[in-house]
A and B are shown apart, each in its own frame.
Chain A
Amino acid sequence: MLIRIKMIANYRDVLPPDHKHGVIELDLAEGATVYEAISRFDIPLNDESVIVLNGLTVDMSTPLKEGDMVTAFSAIAGG
């Protein structure tokens, strides 16, 4: 199934250079989880990162569906 990974700001550095505005597609086996998708990338998988599924706060063990978007960004105070 095809899902999308979106990296924001400095996390874009871990994507291949052909990403479009920080988004790439990934082809994963059915039933793959948020963790399985995001752990392919060299970002901290702890509270230094915020990871959301389709913009929503979910458990990392949540299974993905075709077309889902997993987004990650660095946890830092701003705004």
Chain B
Amino acid sequence: MYGWHLRILRINLTTHQVTKEDVDPKIARDYLGGRGLAIHYLYKEVDPTVDPLGPENKLIFATGPLTATPAPTGNRYMVVTKSPLTGALAHSNSGGEFPTWMKRTGFDLFIFEGRSPEPVYLLVNEDQIEFRSAAHLWGKDTHETTDILKAETSEEARVACIGPAGENLALMAAIMNDKHRAAARSGVGAVMGSKNLKAVVAMGNKNPALHNAEAMRSISVDTSKNVGVDVKKGSNMRIYGTSYVPQVTNTLGILPTRNFLQGTFEHVHNVDGDALKNQYLIRHTPCYRCPLSCGRLTEVPDGPYKGKGEGPEYESIMSLGTGCGVSNLAALVKANYLCNEYGMDTITTGMTIAAAMEMYEKGYLPEEVTGMPLKFGDHDAMIAMIRKMAYNEGFGRELAQGSYRLCEKYGHPEIAVTTRKQEFPGYDPRGSQGMGLLYATSNKGASHMEGDVAYEEVFGVPVKEDPLSTDGKGELVKHFEDSFALMDSSGVCVFVGIRYMFNKDRMLLPQRLSEMLELSTGAGYTPAEALKAAERVYNLERMFLLKAGSTEDTLPHRMLHEPLPDGPAKGRVVELDKMLPDFYKARGWDEKGWPTKEKLEELGLPLE
């Protein structure tokens, strides 16, 4: 078989033993890899009701059949586990270099089980696999940890690790790789911390064999050329990365501002892509084999917020900026650096602080609890809180549980803007109805990365869709979810994937992506087969979260009952009840949102 190694490294952290297992080629074909193959194993091996931070939970690192191939952006991996934030499913995606290096160890998946008696890191250099003490690393941030591990192993190695937030089991803890890249969402870093696993160091030379290497190279070169044409024309993603987006969402009135109390931010010019580019951009920093290169190295050269790192991306500008009413760009950039160094998801971090700010301003959170004034726009208080969250200090201990638990504890659950207890990303769904349906139904709780229908509703890719309309959104969201499951399972980035590996059609036919899968694996993929596999993945994930007890597809109070007060979508709420039945119908699920027996049989999924 090609494309995959068809080998899993199973790591028992309790006993410090590893086993190497073969993967059934039919299973690989049916579940693709990455997110798909990982849910196959998670569903089979983990009771969905286990304590996510207990030793019974498993943590899976999963590459796809296009990872470490010539496919442009074939540099992704997924971290899949039961989420301590949502109590349901986590699947978080990251790029950079580590995922490619991980695949070159000769394994497609690492499955971590149990809990180490003491802090360790794992070195995987092909068949040289070692548990090593992480006593000297515990407490260190992700940048220090990465530097130390490369120095004591090899400069050729690549590192994924947690920072203090993961060690301290903050529910927004991320797993950082290559210092600046994050498998961020749903608290995957806390699961790693709960296992006393500080880091994974990967190196090796085992590129996967390809079914048709020459044709794969040719289609990859052609795809890169297509990206290059756009870059030459002046692609915003090359010039600004995602930081150009605040101006777009602000124009549409869907830029989350002050914990979604508003959809426009009066100081947006202070925190947009031009401000960032003109003041702090140093250079572009691509992930491995990416012709788009949207990453950016930035530096605040002096002053109280001095620092250097990558980003911030749009989502971080939203959560640590507009979401908290913060207009000081240097402070926002610093807050982003701190999240990366402490190992934290910027979205949940920022939006939890935003919810606390709203509660403070409304008098629901007294200063005796917060320890300091916590008003919207107070960037120094925000930065102080980030540190407290990472280190479990004072009020940070409560913030580290996320906004849902915080708001519920203080008697105002209506202030938490979450679904499945996970904070919303940067598109107010009252002005982007399809995103509302996506957040409500997403297998991982609120997330744009579950099927970013904003590409059509906001960005016009591949075609423009009216964001305020609810017509046809059920089918559209279903198709976006499956398409994202396909990219996440293949090992490519959605930014390049959507535009250059799918047909320019509202319903996103994955023509080129399925050709690449076929050239890589030779497993018989057509566009229809690839999409069917993605649908299988999505449905199995759905079964996991339903069995975990996360059965309600709904939205928080603010989205359903508090109309947007400003901007083009003024007066709108999310009309979820108009879209949800269409979505269930498009999915072939019953009226309560459970996959039917017929659907499970059609997809070849277990009925139990």
Contacts and interface: CB of A to CB of B under 8 A. Distances in A.
Interface stretch (B382-390, B459-467, B573-581): B459-467
Contacts of B463: 47
B252 A55 contact: yes
B191 to A, nearest CB: 26
A77 B494 contact: yes
Scoring B448, B458, B494, B504 by chain A CB atoms within 10 A of each residue's CB, the highest score goes to B458
B234 A78 contact: no
B598 interface: no
Given A77-B494, A79-B315, A52 B252 contact: yes
B568 A79 contact: no
B251 interface: yes
A8 to B, nearest CB: 5
A75 interface: yes
B235 interface: yes
B452 A79 contact: yes
A61 interface: no
Contact of A56 (B247, B274, B468): B468
Interface in A16-67: 21-22, 47, 49-50, 52, 54-57
Nearest to B236: A9
Given A76-B237, A79-B245, A56 B459 contact: no
A74 B269 CA distance: 18
Contact of B426 (A8, A10, A54, A79): A79
Contacts of A74: 234-236
B277 to A, nearest CB: 10
Given A77-B461, A77-B494, A13 B452 contact: no
Interface in B466-523: 466-468, 494-495, 498-499, 504
A74 B504 CA distance: 16
A50 B454 CA distance: 13
A75 B461 contact: yes
B464 A50 contact: yes
Contacts of A22: 247
Given A8-B244, A12-B274, A57-B466, 14 more contacts: A9-B239, A9-B240, A10-B235, A47-B504, A55-B569, A71-B251, A75-B459, A75-B460, A76-B235, A76-B237, A76-B499, A77-B237, A77-B495, A79-B314
Interface of B: 230, 234-237, 239-242, 244-245, 247-249, 251-253, 269, 273-274, 294, 314-315, 426-427, 448, 452, 454-455, 458-461, 463-464, 466-468, 494-495, 498-499, 504, 567-569
6 contacts: A47-B504, A55-B251, A73-B251, A76-B235, A76-B499, A78-B242
Interface of A: 6, 8-10, 12-13, 21-22, 47, 49-50, 52, 54-57, 71, 73-79
